Amino acid sequence: MASCSVTYTPSAVNTGTHTITASYNGDATHAISSGNTGVTVTANKRTTSTSISCTPSSVSVDSSTTCTATVTDTDVGTQTTPTGTVSFASGGAGTFGSSSCGLSGSTASCSVTYTPSAVGTGTHVITGSYSGDVTHATSTGSFDEGVGKRATSTSVSCAPSSVAVDSATACTATVTNGSGANIPTGTVSWTSDGTGTFSAASCTLDATGKCTVNYTPTAVGTGTHKITGSYGGDAKHATSTGSFDEAVSAARKHRTMTTVICDPAVGVVPRPADPDTRCTATVGDLETSKTTPTGVVSFTVSINGGSSTFVDSCHLSQTMTGQASCFVIYGTFTTGVHSITASYEGDGTHESSTSAIPGVFTVIVGP
């Protein structure tokens, strides 16, 4: 048996298996012959690195950023420009304009857009994976994209803009995000720097980003109540606050009407005792939204058209909603016509009033 050796250096992968054939030409004693063997050939690809950058580096939910992948030949020797594609993925919730892009140019770069749909942890890791080419090996890079909630603006308006104490105004909060899309949701909480009450401490935004409550001031204070609406935010939108200066004036008192009736209407002298009559004053609230008058009614008498003199007073008691009454006993031995007038002095809510028609008690001489 005889042998010899050669060195074979493949210059391309081709099918991945190179068949090496050796042919013996024979000699004076030996015939020709040949043999072969298969050699597996693999590519010794050049190493690469992939870098990812996104601009802007921080965006709000539903706003886009452009992410660029750049692949660099990092191997020794003569560097060549990588070709092929880069596939993108995100560690947060969002969408890419395209899931991959093809490298181009001498810088071997390409770009896609990324739009986050939720804040998540506040950082979305954007990963670009280079798939390699015939000459270049795969590699991966990533970028930390900051993601925050969308800024909002809250405006507050109240109508009417000026009210009296104990009268209501309707206050509306409007929350916007500046884009017109993805209307903010959630609730608005209400406060006032004056003394008053809200129909609800908070309200829920409707499909247009608005909600309304009623505010009723219970004291004038400085004359201006600052009504503040505070938006609590939602998964995509940041908090914000707005306010409105509501003018508050003293409440107009309710008008009243006082009537008086004396019973009996006639007294007779002489008698063992002075004749007397029961004079009852009734005070009514004349407004549509009635409250019951309180306080004191004073009675005066004019005899036969003379000057009036004080008789007595009494404290009102409610007879029904919006109405109260009280009475005094008037006695006299003086004959003639006694005209009894009732005067209501008013209270914190009600105006004063005097009976337009007096109660009449006529004293006559008996048989």
CA gap 52, 128 in Å, rounded: 7
Q: What is the 3-state secondary structure (H, E, C) of the chain?
A: CCCCCCCCCCCCCCCCEEEEEEEECCCCCCCCEEEEEEEECCCCCECEEEEEEEECCEEECCCCEEEEEEEEECCCCCCCCCCCEEEEEECCCEEECCCEEECECCCCEEEEEEEECCCCCCEEEEEEEECCCCCECCEEEEEEEEEECECCEEEEEEECCEEECCCCEEEEEEEECCCCCCCCCCEEEEEECCCEEECCCEEECCCCCEEEEEEEECCCCCCEEEEEEEECCCCCECCEEEEEEEEEECCCCECEEEEEEEECCEEEECCCCCCEEEEEEEEEECCCCCCCCCCEEEEEEEECCCCEEEEEEEECEEEECCEEEEEEEEECCCCEEEEEEEEECCCCCECCEECCCCEEEEEEECC
Blockwise average pLDDT, block size 10, the chain, 367 residues: 84 78 85 86 87 98 97 95 98 98 97 97 98 96 98 98 94 91 94 98 98 97 98 97 97 93 91 84 95 98 96 97 97 93 96 97 86
Cα 275 from Cα 336, distance rounded (Å): 12
Match domain 48-148 to its CATH number in 3.40.50.300, 2.60.40.10, 1.20.120.1780, 3.20.190.10.
2.60.40.10
Architecture of domain 153-249: Sandwich (2.60)
Cα–Cα distance, 171 to 189 (Å, whole number): 12
pTM score over 0.75: no
d(CA 161, CA 117): 40
Could you tell me where in the chain the CATH 2.60.40.10 domains are found?
48-148, 153-249, 256-365
pLDDT at 272: 66
Whether domain 256-365 has CATH 2.60.40.10 = yes
Specify whether the CB–CB gap between 196 and 158 falls below 8 A: no
Closest by CA position to 257, among listed 283, 235, 291, 288 = 283
Cα–Cα distances (Å) from 204 to 158, 174, 200, in that order, read 17, 11, 11
In angstroms, rounded to a whole number, what is the distance separating the alpha carbons of residues 264 and 272? Answer: 17
